[in-house]
Amino acid sequence: MIVSKRKPTLEERRGRWAWVFIAPWLLGFTLLFAVPLIQSMFYSFSELSLSPTGLQLDFKGMANYRNALMEHVDYNRTLTEAVLNMLLNVPLVVIFSLFVAQLLNQQFKGRMIARVIFFLPVILASGVIASIESGDFLQSAIMGGGNDPATGAGSMLRSFELERLLIQSGMNELFVTYLTGSVDRIYEIVSAAGVQIIIFLAGLQAIAPQLYEAAKIEGATGYEAFWKITFPMISPLILTNVIYTVIDAFTSNDMTTLIQETAFRQFDFGLSAAMSWIYFIIIALILLITTYSINRKVFYQ
């Protein structure tokens, strides 16, 4: 008796291709990342000292964690600032990215040049240029220019007058503070939004034009088409961009600088590892809460 092989379903084929696409990451994680990750966990519970035979690990239990959370003068403050900056910047970056992607998805002359311009901050924020930007030279130049009353360069992005006008108009003071703070951080927002703009733009171009044509025939306005068609269709990409922006906000800040200085300047690798693991756990919790909260509202086709 001949038994015919069952053809795999579409869902099964997609599952197999998913494993193919994540295989490079799994291979890289196993060969390059897993061992340092396990070592850092051991380091966080130990004190590293140099002996004639090499590095020596002395088990200290939770002492490094207690030192980071209860004794270190800068860790709690730096960690709190990192989390607060993330909470402030992520909504602004995602909303700005969606707004710009919506504009760049329109038909107009010079559209390709405009797309390149908005992606330039991603290129400029990498490699040597990022090192120069974060160096003392540029910082001193900016601080020097901002303090010069003759040039007034530092006052161009100040929002004190805007804040006063908005409060006098009757707006909530907390919302005004957040809004004017986002104006002061406009360079940081634009620099962090390049990848998210591309992701949103790809999602907008994948929406079938027939949906908008049918909505227009039914008399829907552009506002209604956005909330009834565009927003639900790109909601999975909103979740993706939120997760990406949260991770990106935590990758390079004062917290990571403190961890690096503790390890490679003070040579306290145990304390640095404990700081890293506390930081990692907090990031993981934020991602879990964010994913669970947004995923319930995501529309999947």
CATH code of residue 225: 1.10.3720.10
Q: Which range is least confidently modeled, 42-46, 126-130, 265-269?
A: 126-130
For the record, the structure tokens of 300 come out as 């999947």
Residue 196 counted as domain residue: yes
Residue 49 counted as domain residue: no
Residue 211 counted as domain residue: yes
- Tens digits of per-residue pLDDT, 147-200? 444 444 443 445 566 666 666 677 766 666 766 666 667 777 888 888 898 899
User: Under DSSP, is residue 118 helix (H, G, I), strand (E, B) or coil?
Assistant: helix
Can you give the pLDDT at residue 27?
93
Domain range enclosing 243: 71-125+192-301
Can you give the pLDDT at residue 154?
44
Cα torsion 118, 256, 39, 72 to 10°: value is -160
Instruction: Please check whether residue 154 is in contact with residue 145, taking contact to mean a CB–CB distance below 8 angstroms.
Output: yes
Q: Which range is least confidently modeled, 19-23, 77-81, 230-234, 296-300?
A: 296-300
Any residues with CB less than 8 A from the CB of 239 and at least 6 apart, and which?
Answer: 291, 294, 295, 298
Can you give the pLDDT at residue 2?
57
Total domains in the fold of the chain = 1
13 pLDDT above the threshold of 60:
yes
For the record, the structure tokens of 261 come out as 């200085």
DSSP for 159-201 reads -HHHHHHHHHTT--HHHHHHHHHHHHTHHHHHHT-HHHHHHHH
How many Å apart are CA 6 and CA 222, to the nearest integer? 47
Report pTM. 0.75
Residue 166 counted as domain residue: no
